[in-house]
Amino acid sequence: MDTPLSPALRRFVDRQIKSGRFKNAGDVINAALQQMAAADGGAGPAVDPAALAGLSGSEDIEAMVFVTLMEAAKSAQEDLKAIMAEVKAMTNAKARLRDLINKVNRDVAANAGCDDGAQKLDFSRGLRSEQAYHRAPMPVLDPDAEGGVRLKPCDLRRGKIVTYDELVVIRDRLKDQLDSMSEMSELTSLRLQMAMDRRSKLIETLSNIMKKISTTADTQVQNLK
């Protein structure tokens, strides 16, 4: 787990290494995780990490694992939010591209019976003009834009559009772009599922550790009575 430790936890890890029990920080954390692996499931009471500062021995291990996993869970939550924003942006981009394809398709349908070059094309049902094809609103992913998408003017075909076949080629190319975008969306959705699973496992582990810490504290109180 690549998670930076707080200064207090780093000092604790350094003490464990100097004692000769462990070779490096990874060994310390692995030992702590192995100790907690047998913890029972179930949610325990909320624990304030600041209250763990005075613990020692095995309790220090529990505290270190708890705070480390808290930092990992926070990182997982941030990753989840970022990927969710990507999914939203991709969905918006596909909707904008479908809208553009629908307009082009209306122009294709309106000119289906035209002989190539025999008569002027009718653009009134779709993008409204031939010039509009040279500055069509193409969706581009942009995290700084509203909804994660901005529209960038794009030339769908170099040179004047004069034949029905040219319209068909434009439409088919846009459909190919939509297919590629859909494949990217599926990969992003997979990343989202993996991030959600990772966060869920971290929360479950934190719950087990909190219950373990609570049980240990209850046992200590009983022993003092």
Tens digit of each residue's pLDDT (9 = 90 or more) over 24-45: 766 666 666 555 554 434 444 3
The count of other CB atoms within 10 Å of the CB of residue 149 is 22
Quick one: 145 and 110 in the same domain? yes
In a domain, 26, yes or no: yes
- State the pLDDT at residue 42: 40
What residues contact 138, with CB distance under 8 A and at least 6 apart? 97, 100, 151, 152, 153, 154
Quick one: 39 and 123 in the same domain? no
In a domain, 1, yes or no: no
Quick one: 58 and 158 in the same domain? no
Strand ranges in 77-166 using DSSP code E only, listed in sequence order = 136-141, 149-154
Quick one: 49 and 90 in the same domain? no
- State the pLDDT at residue 214: 67
Q: What is the mean pLDDT of the chain?
A: 79
* pLDDT-derived band at 211, boundaries 50, 70, 90: confident
Quick one: 207 and 169 in the same domain? no
- State both tokens at 25: 């920080």
Closest alpha carbon to 39 in 166, 220, 216 = 216
Quick one: 148 and 115 in the same domain? yes
Report the number of distinct structural domains present in the chain: 2
Closest alpha carbon to 87 in 191, 193, 189 = 189
In a domain, 2, yes or no: no
In a domain, 166, yes or no: yes
Quick one: 186 and 107 in the same domain? yes
- State the Cα–Cα distance between residues 107 and 20, nearest whole angstrom: 77
* pLDDT-derived band at 7, boundaries 50, 70, 90: low
- State the pLDDT at residue 34: 54
User: Taking residues 74-78, what's their average pLDDT?
Assistant: 83
In a domain, 152, yes or no: yes
Amino acid (one-letter) located at 9:
L
User: Taking residues 74-101, what's their average pLDDT?
Assistant: 93
Quick one: 95 and 154 in the same domain? yes
Quick one: 56 and 128 in the same domain? no
pTM of the model: 0.66
Domain that holds residue 17: 7-81+200-224
In a domain, 65, yes or no: yes
In a domain, 97, yes or no: yes
Sign of torsion, CA 162 165 169 171?
Answer: positive
Asked if 89 and 148 touch (Cβ cutoff 8 Å), the reply is yes
Quick one: 106 and 161 in the same domain? yes
Quick one: 46 and 118 in the same domain? no
pLDDT in tens, 102-132: 999 999 999 998 876 668 899 999 999 999 9
pLDDT in tens, 135-185: 999 999 998 999 999 999 999 999 999 999 999 999 999 999 999 999 998
Quick one: 106 and 61 in the same domain? no
In a domain, 217, yes or no: yes
